[in-house]
Chain A
Amino acid sequence: MSFVLPRRTALLSAAATLAAPAAIAQEGPIRIGEINSYSAQPAFLAPYRNAWALIQHEVNAAGGINGRRIETVFRDDAGKPEDAVRHAGELLNNERVHILAGGFLSNVGLALSDFANQNRRLFVASEPLTDALVWSRGNRYTYRLRCSTYMQAAMLVEEAAKLPPMRWATVAPNYEYGQSAVRWFKELLLRAKPGTTFVAEQFPAQGRIDAGATVQALASANPQAIFNVTFATDLTNFVRQGTTRGLFEGRTVVSMLTGEPEYLGPLGDEAPEGWIVTGYPVADIQNPGHVRFRDAYRARFNELPKLGSIVGADTVTAIAAMLRKTGSTETEHMVDGMSGLTYSGAFGEAESEFRALDHQATMGAYVGKTGLRDGRGVMLNWRYCDGKNYLPTDDVVRSMRPQG
């Protein structure tokens, strides 16, 4: 059952690159320091690290970057920003890494981003969703891969605005991610459909939802539609109570991240049907790029990739693309190289670009409806939403991000 590769194996598994010219080989491998909340968020991050190792192996097997291998040193921050910052110091000073990467929780991402800015090192944030990372607290040295809270909310608003409901209720975990998801959803939906009302909002503590009471509180406000931001454990408990109490009957539900295999999988045959969600229909995407990644992943780890795998794979792919483009491990060159960088991700869809404007990648997400197939939750009628179409105008971004 263990999905976690022992660290040493991950380092040594890289194929020998004997063919590398001696002069370049002397420079040694390119080292990435990766920090993430492995012990706190294993469900997302075990597949993430698997895919990371897979892509790194592929890059090295193909000769590395101009003959130099990529190596990664992984560190577990246990979900604490202060530990992440300590690891970052260690990775830079002891392990001599060239690039910092990783982050799952928003506050860890922000702490690392500020650290990178202070120490003038490149930080490629993979997962942290907070908008602050590239906007209000954005800085020169930080780039972010994953489509942000704003982008995913915007994708869902596009769908929600097409539907008749005018009375909405929201439920979201009580921390920055949940709060900003609700704020953006409200703001964008009101703009798209003036006259929409929000009749109830619930903010259960993250990981500790009192699902029965929360469901009842939402039901008593009698909304026509519900916007859900809870995920993982909270989502499972919310869905169970909501289904049994009939909360979702005759109501539209629009939900962030619910289509990701990490969160849809555990629901088994109790997965809700007809919810409009963002996610990743892993089994149904048949474009060649994705099929190649999926087959390689399955061959090595004997299971389907999850969304974490995509994020892990794309982070390595993007870093490798940047290194090929710049041909240097000098920080300022790499930072400039990230700006405007395009790469082809494991989704196999259109190329993503790290925007020069705000360092946000245009990686997208899939939007579709949930359904059941063979006793398992799946996404139906999905389409790929390219992230570049779901960002505010450049002027708005400039007004939010510190310039200069």
Chain B
Amino acid sequence: MENLLVQGLSGLATASSLFLVASGLTVIFGVTRIVNFAHGSLYMLGAYLSWTLVTQLPRGHLGFWGGVALAALIVGVVGVLIEVLLLRRIYKAPELFQLLATFGVVLIVQDVALLIWGPQDLLGPRAPGLRGATMVLGVRFPLYELFLIAVGPVVLALLWLLFNRTRWGTLVRAATADREMVGALGVNQRALFTTVFFLGSVLAGLGGALQIPRESVNLQMDLVVIVEAFVVVVVGGLGSLPGAFLAALLIGELQAFGILIFPRITLVLAFLVMAVVLVIRPHGLLGRAPSTAHAAAAPEPPYLPASPWRRWAGLGLLLLAVIVPPFLGDYALIVFTEIAIMMLFAASLHFIMGPGGMASFGHAAYFGFGAYGAALLVRHFAAPMELGLLAAPFMAGLGGLVFGFFCVRLSGVYAAMLTLAFAQIAWSTAFQWVEMTGGDNGILGVWPSAWAQSKLVFYYLSLALCVGAVMLLRRAIFAPFGYALRAGRDSPLRAEAIGMDGFRIRWFAFILAAVAAGIAGGLFAYSKGSVFPTYMSISRSVDGLLMVLLGGVKTVSGPIAGALAYTWLHEQLMRAFDLWRLFLGIIILALVLFFPQGLAGALGRREGRS
């Protein structure tokens, strides 16, 4: 019994840490609607900075607590710089585009931290006065954990006071509820956004700095924490501080007790919780449905059929892709194959994001289903490639059918996070079901049939399948089905009123997108010769998102341009530089600032069709 209570206390400490990071994220999202991927980087910076301030400065200057506070403030300033120099310039860009910018920041911070602090994990000092442990119910319990348990509620209370007892807080709450109205009333939105960003960043920095007495400071902290923080924010309800607190408690405690029964559950527990919560409560535990008064303020311009100029350009590109490769080496063919596959993957994601109006953070799941659909047949039935390639879209479609049924009922970031939850559940299944999928060691020996073993033949096969599938998706966008899909996106009420079943249309679109991603996944499996859970990991989903955003969500050719640019850039930089993440990050930032409508969007504007 005592042991169980102490286990609960441990869960509370974890919950407090989670809440600290999540609180900053939810505050920023509530007002600016920015999905701030760099929040984890700010957290990591907070930890590294406080390590430096506490251990490297002569003792007695700042002390531990002074170091923690200063680190949090410095991170706040970094946050302000990010907001002023970068995000402020792209608030008008399509929704989620800021995600691309913040991802650029993540890449840059990773390499900068490596350069400054080196590759080794750093051990932070313990907090003075809180080094040891005390007896709780006859079990030794660290003092610092008790301190952390107290910090969470204290920060929550302070934030509550700030938001409910100050003029600034009232304005922020007003902006959270209705940004346009607050602007119309003459409130300086810029200053509001910047200060909110400062507060959120300070909280992230504080969260990181307070971790150093209990955890090592390392270069993986950012990505570990950002995903968990997002889960907490979404489970709690976007923009809701008490919700985030409740969600952190729920996840922290479930984690602490979960490992007593299923030690392996930590891999997926948070995502299971998120999936269950979102299916039951589509806006999180304490979140509210966004006010619809201004939701459809700027209806998107319709897609136009390609202009003759574009049509010729596309045809020319395709001709090049057919004629040139026989004269290239094997490696160029490998890269071309990969680009063709990524084009289809990006186009399939765009299909659900653009015309469907529903972002997906977990599209890699269907890519992975395709790859595993093929590989499982190879592994368990020694099936030939032709059969594997046929099975891939079916398996992915099946996944889309089941997951899509739940996801398309939701909207906005909630829908996106539910797709992520399902993708993570799929990923952890592939990871843990060792007898079936080979676990993280994957399935080997997924090579093409004899006739397609030549790189050139396999390239043509991939090109044919990918271009064919992309053209079909494109055809669907301009077919009545596509019009209905867009009607549901831009004006759900009117679409329902004239008898269109929005749910069913979006569900079909989701399945179609999954099927297309599955074809890409199947081809990818045979081009690599092996299949691993990384095929459906978060980073592949993010890659897909980056391609679509880079190309431009609002154009049909966007994903193609984005996939081409991103895959090529990634491949070139990775080969040429050790610090490829730094360069990739800088290039992404530059592209974001110069082409806020995406690459294809920018081309469109040049043609005067924007």
Contact = CB atoms under 8 A, between A and B. Distances in A.
Interface in B345-368: none
B133 A110 contact: no
Nearest to B12: A212
Contacts of B445: 114
B603 interface: no
Contacts of B145: 212
Contacts of B439: 175-176, 179
B504 interface: no
Please classify the interface of chain A as helix (H, G, I), strand (E, B), loop, or mixed, using the class held by over half of its residues.
helix
A89 interface: yes
Contacts of A344: none
Contacts of B123: 236, 266-268, 270
Nearest to A246: B140
A100 to B, nearest CB: 14
Contacts of B289: none
Interface in A22-53: 38-39, 42-43, 45-46
Contacts of B267: 174, 205
Contacts of A65: none
Interface string A204-238: 11011011111111011000000000001100110
A241 B215 CA distance: 9
Given A90-B575, A244-B142, A210 B256 contact: yes
Contacts of A203: 263-264, 266
A370 interface: no
Chain B, interface size: which category?
A: 35 or more
A235 to B, nearest CB: 9
A341 to B, nearest CB: 25
B530 A216 contact: no
A247 to B, nearest CB: 9
A13 B161 CA distance: 63
Given A203-B263, A212-B10, A94 B329 contact: yes
Interface string B325-345: 000011100110010000000
Nearest to A39: B581
A38 B579 CA distance: 10
Please classify the interface of chain B as helix (H, G, I), strand (E, B), loop, or mixed, using the class held by over half of its residues.
helix
B329 A213 contact: no
Contacts of B535: 82
B530 A7 contact: no
B150 interface: no
B152 interface: no
Contact of A89 (B116, B215, B263, B330): B330
Contact of A236 (B13, B215, B444, B539): B215
Contacts of A137: 441, 444
B266 A174 contact: yes
Given A241-B142, A246-B140, 13 more contacts: A43-B119, A80-B534, A85-B528, A93-B334, A110-B444, A111-B442, A118-B529, A175-B440, A204-B263, A212-B256, A213-B10, A237-B215, A237-B216
21 contacts: A3-B118, A42-B114, A43-B121, A82-B532, A82-B535, A92-B330, A107-B534, A110-B442, A111-B530, A114-B530, A174-B432, A175-B439, A210-B255, A211-B214, A212-B10, A212-B142, A213-B256, A214-B259, A215-B10, A219-B139, A236-B121
